Chain A
């Protein structure tokens, strides 16, 4: 293969042949007439294949330095007397992209093109010829001519789609491009007048930016090119075409035509002065943010893709204006984001033509064809800049570059625009995964293959870009390989994939653990051993469980990478991988669609804050090491706060917690413990990293940590209060997680030795008891088919092992001696008293007493009281659910009896950062400055008391009479239904009256209000796209005038 290519590169085919061959074949096809459809279609494919080969050959040659860039002078004259073309590396890349989509696009549109005869095929070929010319040409007027030829060709192809919609869209398109062409022409003729040349290089040399008149003509040219790129809001004409044209044509417009026009803009930016570059970036940003805002309410798939296209191209325009083109990373950033858009948009438009679903809600038919669903989701994630796609690297590097320039406002604007895009694209993804699936039309191979190739291309280019980005070669792809393997073997039965996943998780742990410091070791155990334990229940599930294991391993792999990360890029990569995986896990629950979306939105928002913070960390520093967190040069307090809030979206702190109850409560039974006991700790891990880097005891962020302490305390209160009013067992546990994570945040924010011991103890405890509780309750919910506790009751006799597990779980949670929760409490009081945070401490203490209420409710309503009629035949949970619970119980017992095994090394590990007032150990006895605690003795004493009392109780009740369920003679009542004998519904009604206002959904209302505001703003602005082609023309002209006026006032 390489030999063939190198032979080819010896004899480079001149790029002018692209034009010559295309023209020749086009004329010949015209001569063939409409009868020889098949012949002319073969000729078309041959011509497009030829173009592709020529451009790829140049790409190969130039990229490997086998040949030099070639200038071609037509007719043998030098400019300005002739037109010249340039084939350099840039041109080769762009032309290759264009020609590939041309070739595949012609295959995709094969049946339409054949049906419409050679005429349409000629037009198709001419379109691609003109795109090649505008990329290669260095002559202004030549570019104008072929831009026009391209526009006419597009307008011709639009009517391939039948119906008045396409015709009117095409006419609007012609109106707009006609005006744009006129403006362009005026600019060209005046630039010729002022510089005496039409050759770009000569014009740039003569530096028109310094001449007043020439400046205005370069303004006209630039604005015309920008208008070709459909800037918001002067782009109604383009949206109509995206929506109404044949999807194959929309794909070409978005990827090929968009790419070519962007390259034209790139060529022209050379002649714009700095002041114009400024405007270009502004126009780009406004387009990116505006178009994505308007996309939010769009329900029609292709129009939505149109909005997204406009937005993505806006971002690329912005990048063009923001970064100096000499910047060493400019091309990488641009290429990364461009290729993601290119592959994903073409792929999505093509899919839209395959499934023929106009409304985004109908896209659930994709589930009938898992490969197509996988590609669809890949394309969506690529557009949103998730790893491992090229845009992830592009966006990362872009943020780093802009941070280095101190352009934080621009970064924020770009992140806001991206966030809007996440809203509508992820909602769409959710629909495709969850909604009722209709029937999938028959898929032609010719339409299927291009989509698959573009999906593969996306991954390949993503890898390529990652290897070129700074520090990109430090990324560990092992977890993604595991995910890929699981995707390939997704057809196997669940137990096989479950075993594979457990093996892989164990393997990650085996690779990670050696040489790990204590804190990372603890999190490795939580993430990966926890992973294995929560995967075990999966053995109970019959069938294939499609898509579960790739998602789970994406999450666990991301968590493993998080621990391994030694630089900011690795950390962010891991963070995003974990987020995607957990999203796909959470959305699997029956009613999880809206909750998964809200989880995603909070996660992405948090991730963007982290990214912004990382940008500030990298600015003014060299390298990307995580150690830089301790030497932030730019706005350190702000950077720290941004990152902290980012991590707190994952720990669900107050204000950012509203996604959690739904996401954890509605998830599948074995997913809830994964996301609750394990995933939440990722946020804790991030916070720990930050706080350690902040300098420990001697940090300069005491104000920030003081606030975090309060947030933690209030989160504990609100979370626990929320829990007591739940009737849904899993939601009760979910609210309880919010509360527990509040304790953890509070404890770490104390920033003392004792505080951190408390925090880590709580972290370990919460991992163990929440996994037990969610496994037990989740298993029960799955068995009984209801979440409502008042529909349960009396299960203690049916499920004694689950009862014991839950009992131990809630004893640990409540901090009752002798179990490890008590140790946490003891440490907590020490820490609070030593720090002097009495008010906050009181709030947390109060929250702790509330915890008793919901724990009582949980165990009472579910296990005690009266068995319900329909549960008479319920059996104990399966071994696969019980096994991990009992392994964790052993863990709790060990931690309770011998806490020094874990707390001593933790104390040593944090002593560096927190040297004062350490906990000292005498054997199993822990000594603080305030007192002592001997866990082993407590265990022995209380254990002894328990055994004695239990024995006494059994002895005393040996003669007790066993009665049937309804044998309640004492009350003179005759209960006939279990419900009448068991107060379990709304048992805390009184508390609700007293404290209910504290859990009134104020925060939920706030987020709802914000969402509505954004949506209605978008909806309101969207009305400017009235559908009237003439209005669009007026928008266009007004846009020019307004930008011109702003421009004039500035120079």
Chain B
């Protein structure tokens, strides 16, 4: 289970990265980022996973005394929420940029925006 999750995570990260580096279309690049981020999120959750652990919520089954054995690590779960929010913010801003770029040149090809160089 852990291994599969790890492989999935890295696969997503690499696919995302490949998408970012190889697509000329700005929207596709942004989609690449989404994949990249998703991979990262899966990775974070996987790292905090403890075999057979349950959700880190204290209830009848999981008390304060035996919590450490029963639940998965809560910190990565907290982190992933933050990471998702940040990812959302980045994606939104990138899309705003894509819109602005399109308005400027009626093109979404990244190679068309080379005014500044050297």
Contact = CB atoms under 8 A, between A and B. Distances in A.
Interface of A: 80, 141, 145, 148-149, 152, 155-156, 159, 164-165, 167-171, 174-175, 178-179, 181-182, 185-186, 189-190, 192-193, 198, 236, 239-240, 243-244, 298, 303, 1022-1023, 1025-1030, 1033-1034, 1037
B44 A169 contact: no
B13 to A, nearest CB: 7
A152 B93 contact: yes
6 contacts: A156-B93, A174-B90, A174-B93, A185-B44, A185-B83, A1037-B17
Size class of the B contact interface (CB-based, 8 Å): 35 or more
A186 B79 CA distance: 12
A178 B111 contact: no
B82 interface: yes
Contacts of A181: 86, 90
Contacts of A1023: 118
Given A141-B82, A164-B115, A192-B76, A174 B40 contact: no
A782 to B, nearest CB: 44
Contact of B110 (A159, A298, A1028): A1028
A189 B76 contact: yes
Contact of B20 (A303, A1025, A1033): A1033
B117 A1027 contact: yes
A1037 B21 contact: yes
Given A141-B79, A192-B47, A1037-B21, A1026 B117 contact: yes
B100 interface: yes
A148 B24 CA distance: 25
Contacts of B43: 186, 189
Contact of A152 (B21, B75, B89): B89
A164 B111 CA distance: 14
B86 A240 contact: no
B86 A145 contact: yes
Nearest to A141: B79
Contact of B104 (A164, A178, A198): A164
B13 A243 contact: no
B101 interface: yes
Q: Chain A contact residues: over half helix, strand or loop, or mixed?
A: helix
Contact of B101 (A167, A189, A239, A303): A167
Given A145-B82, A164-B105, A152 B47 contact: no
A194 B44 CA distance: 13
Given A152-B89, A189-B47, A1026 B114 contact: yes
A84 to B, nearest CB: 15
Interface string B40-56: 10011001000000000
Given A185-B44, A192-B75, A192-B76, A1022 B94 contact: no
A170 B115 CA distance: 13
A239 B20 CA distance: 21
B40 A186 contact: yes
A171 B75 contact: no
Interface of B is mostly: helix
Given A1025-B118, A1026-B114, A171 B36 contact: no
Contact of A244 (B26, B110, B116): B116
A189 B75 CA distance: 10
Given A159-B100, A1029-B113, A1037-B21, A1022 B118 contact: yes
B113 A164 contact: yes
| Residue of B17, B79, B117 with highest tally of chain A CB at under 10 A | B117
A198 B75 contact: yes
Most A CB within 10 A of own CB, among B21, B104, B111, B116: B116
Nearest to A80: B75
Contacts of A240: 116
Contacts of B13: 182, 186
> Which 6 residue pairs across A and B have the least CB separation, nearest first?
A1027-B114, A1027-B117, A168-B113, A164-B104, A240-B116, A171-B97
Contacts of B44: 185, 189
A174 B20 contact: no
A303 B118 CA distance: 9
Contacts of A193: 47
Nearest to A1030: B110
A155 B116 contact: no
Nearest to B33: A178
* Most chain A CB within a 10 A radius of its CB, from B36, B47, B115: B115
Nearest to B78: A141
A993 B31 CA distance: 75
Contacts of B98: 171
Interface in B21-79: 21, 24, 26, 29, 33, 36-37, 40, 43-44, 47, 75-76, 79
B24 A167 contact: no
B41 to A, nearest CB: 9
B97 A174 contact: yes
Given A182-B40, A1027-B114, A1028-B110, 18 more contacts: A141-B79, A164-B101, A164-B105, A168-B114, A169-B116, A171-B26, A174-B94, A175-B29, A178-B33, A181-B86, A186-B43, A189-B43, A189-B79, A192-B47, A1027-B115, A1028-B113, A1030-B29, A1037-B17
A586 to B, nearest CB: 32
A1026 B44 CA distance: 35
A148 B91 CA distance: 12
Contacts of B116: 165, 168-169, 239-240, 243-244, 303, 1027
Nearest to A294: B118
A326 B71 CA distance: 42
A164 B100 CA distance: 8
Contacts of B21: 1030, 1033-1034, 1037
A145 B79 CA distance: 10
A165 B115 contact: yes
Nearest to A198: B75
A146 to B, nearest CB: 10
B52 to A, nearest CB: 18
A244 B113 CA distance: 13
Contacts of B111: 1028, 1030
A1037 B26 CA distance: 18
A174 B98 CA distance: 11
A1029 B98 CA distance: 13
A171 B82 CA distance: 23
A916 B114 CA distance: 74
A1030 B83 contact: no
Nearest to B86: A148
B34 to A, nearest CB: 11
B103 to A, nearest CB: 9
A244 B116 CA distance: 8
B115 A175 contact: no
A171 B47 CA distance: 32
Contacts of A175: 20, 29
A347 to B, nearest CB: 23
Contacts of A168: 101, 113-116
A961 to B, nearest CB: 75
Contacts of A1027: 113-118
Given A145-B86, A1023-B118, A1030-B110, A182 B37 contact: yes
Contacts of B40: 182, 185-186
